[in-house]
Structure formats: C-alpha cells, structure tokens
Amino acid sequence: MRVLLSTIGSRGDVQPLVALGLQLMEFGQQVHLCVPPDFRYWIESLGMTVTPIGPELRSTGKARSAAVMPTPEQRRQMIAGTIAAQFETIAAAAQDCDIIVGATALQVALLP
C-alpha cells in the first residue's frame, strides 16, 4: 500500500508523521511525505521519499527587525500563494496513493 503523510508546520508537526511513517514502513508499506523543505534530507535519510511543500521554516522563525517585517498585505499574499501551491503539490504527490493522512492546519480561510 502507498501512503501519503502531509503537514505544513514545525518539527513538532512533522515528527509525529515521521514516527507514523517509520511504523508503516515496518509493516511493509510505501511511505511518502509532503513536508516543509527544511525536513527533506532528514526524512530521506530514514528511507522515506519527500515532496517539499510550503516555505522553509528556519528562515521564518528568525527574529526580524520591524523594518524587515512584511506588511499585512504582503503576509496575506504569501499565505494565499502557499495555500494555492499546497493543493497543487498534495494533489500531484497523492497520485497512486491508497491512503492520505493530513495533519495540523492544512486549510486556511482568507478574508478579502
């Protein structure tokens, strides 16, 4: 069976899916993850394939000065782009999968 595990979030969001993926592999299942690009090499070193999704989180977690902070409109545009890309990426990664498990806040409503 081919299983897709997907989340956009920090290591606290990703690591439980990695643990689930490792257990599924022990049961002989083929596991693929959609996760932020920060985690790609770590997960691939464990024997699972990865499709990067969303922004790199290491860069978004750093402290920034007020002069560098994005405006509310820039943030809204970034989120809208991330959401659109998320649905395209997951749809492509889900091809030929038997099961899809999505974790954390994968759906976001945007106000006009």
- What are the structure tokens assigned to 92, written together? 């492509």
List the domains of the chain with CATH numbers: 2-59+66-102 (3.40.50.2000)
Cα–Cα distances (Å) from 16 to 21, 33, 51, 85, in that order, read: 9, 12, 17, 23
Which pLDDT value is given to residue 83?
74
Which pLDDT value is given to residue 60?
52
Q: Is the pTM of this model over 0.75?
A: yes
Q: Is 76 helix (H, G, I), strand (E, B) or coil?
A: helix
Would you give per-residue pLDDT tens digits along the chain (112 residues)?
999 999 888 888 899 999 999 999 999 999 999 999 999 999 999 999 999 987 776 655 555 555 577 788 887 787 777 777 788 888 899 999 999 998 876 544 433 4
Which pLDDT value is given to residue 59?
55
Which pLDDT value is given to residue 2?
96
